[in-house]
């Protein structure tokens, strides 16, 4: 490997949203820094099975919802 081309790899502490912490190795921050997460697998709906955003209908339904009141009257 070339010297001084790779980032420093060191131990940091990761703090989850529920307050639990664990140690891991990373290139983020400096040795001993704490990374506080805003979203993690214990709180994000993608992992917890919470409410999901589902499209209602397709493109035609979206068009009718937007322009449904318009008509071509003679």
Question: What average pLDDT does this structure show over 51-66?
Answer: 74
The predicted pLDDT at position 41 comes to: 81
Spatial separation of the C-alpha atoms in residues 22 and 60, rounded to whole Å: 49
Residue 14, sorted as left (phi over 0), alpha (psi -120 to 50) or beta, turns out to be: beta
Q: Tokens 């009141």, residue?
A: 69
The predicted pLDDT at position 9 comes to: 92
CB 49, CB 65: distance < 8 Å: no
Spatial separation of the C-alpha atoms in residues 8 and 27, rounded to whole Å: 6
* pLDDT band for position 57 (cuts 50, 70, 90): confident
* pLDDT band for position 66 (cuts 50, 70, 90): confident
């Amino acid at each position: 490997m070339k010297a001084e081309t790779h980032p420093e790899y060191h131990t940091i502490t990761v703090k989850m949203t529920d307050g639990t912490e664990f140690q891991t190795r990373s290139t983020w921050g400096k040795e001993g820094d704490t990374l506080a997460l805003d979203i993690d697998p214990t709180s994000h709906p993608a992992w917890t099975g919470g409410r999901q955003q589902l499209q209602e209908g397709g493109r035609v339904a979206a068009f009718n919802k937007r322009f449904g009141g318009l008509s071509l009257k003679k």
